[in-house]
Chain A
């Protein structure tokens, strides 16, 4: 069990703040595709999904199981992927994380990293299959996209931990 630390008077209750901050950061992650830059190959990591997984691994109490549907819908509106692709793959990843979480007794950064990498890979490969014709020459680019995204996962875990108010045992 994670203990909540008593919040000092005048300090921000980060534990409670994370309840609305988490969905907002996921949506900001999805909105990074709005940067003024016209990409020639898929290069941007799926920051929305990575934030979602980061939050899910850190604070399982924040997101109800159906929340990836709405967050995925928001992502689909912006990303240019066909409608429903993030909705489906994010929900599938989220439920898979739930299943894995119920099996694992103990989780450390390496477990989290592997889980996140699996989610990113499934979503990007699945998104590639549903969005582009099979003959398109995007597989190498998607592979690099996966590698870059996986390499950036600990950084996003770090952001979540920074914002999440995970109580440190004293």
Chain B
């Protein structure tokens, strides 16, 4: 087909100038877009308010669709549950007997741990839960890995609070709106989480790759060996993530750095837990007033 020539405005001067002006505006707009792009590259939080406002409007939509999906998704489970109850009951009873022994052991260990900690005068920091919410949507068409949480500053969510799921760390809060927040997932190419190996406490960092996997890099010694199956938990270094949240498992034998898979794959997460920042930054005034006891409290 021949392209329709509706762009050509004919002999009217006014129409010709109007068309020309349109192109001028487009060119100027493109320049402004480049400026915005540079601004948001060098100051990623620059437009958080605007994005937050848009999120406030659109997230209820995602939440609604999410609950509909959840309802339909629960149908097969409900049917299966109805028929599998008896066998499950039998299985669970058997498990209970097996677990009793483990619980005994754990209680003894817990008591001993408390005693030793009291001996060392270690105090557990209160990493209280701020909010429990759902991850309702994500930046599925972008190369960055963000998710939208349907809880925001009204629920007490603040930027840089850690977010974890039942299986492990998911990410941290980047921007908050009234009822929504944007989460930087740990698989994002710009996310770095300080971790330690569970079996020997080897410090490392978990860096997102962008393709759903993470890279585990040794943070102390060169040529540290990583074995497939090594598990890493947060170390508490850096003060954002509380220690001992499971993060990733190495999937390839390697030295110095290796591929890892995160425990809490965000596409399987139903509920996400927002926690307090492990060590919140002290405001300067509070620092002046309570400098001597700032370390132990909060």
Contact = CB atoms under 8 A, between A and B. Distances in A.
Given A66-B25, A69-B29, A91-B26, A79 B141 contact: yes
Most chain-A Cβ atoms within 10 A of its Cβ — which of B22, B40, B146, B269? B40
Interface of B: 1-7, 22-23, 25-27, 29-30, 32-41, 44, 46-47, 50-51, 54, 58-59, 61-63, 65-66, 69, 135-147, 182, 185, 187, 189-190, 208-213, 265-267, 269
Contacts of B5: 1
A152 B137 CA distance: 22
A40 B265 contact: yes
Given A35-B62, A64-B22, 14 more contacts: A33-B138, A34-B59, A36-B63, A36-B137, A40-B145, A61-B7, A65-B25, A69-B32, A77-B51, A79-B141, A83-B39, A87-B36, A101-B7, A131-B144
A44 B5 CA distance: 33
A43 interface: yes
A92 B267 CA distance: 34
Contacts of B41: 82, 130
Interface of A: 1-2, 31, 33-47, 59-61, 64-66, 68-69, 72, 77-85, 87-88, 91-92, 94-95, 98, 101, 104-108, 127-128, 130-133, 135-138, 140-142, 145
Most chain-B Cβ atoms within 10 A of its Cβ — which of A2, A34, A69? A34
Please report whether the interface of chain B is mostly helix, strand, loop or mixed according to DSSP.
mixed
A137 B211 CA distance: 6
Nearest to B136: A36
Contacts of A60: 3-4, 6-7
B25 A38 contact: no
A125 B46 CA distance: 23
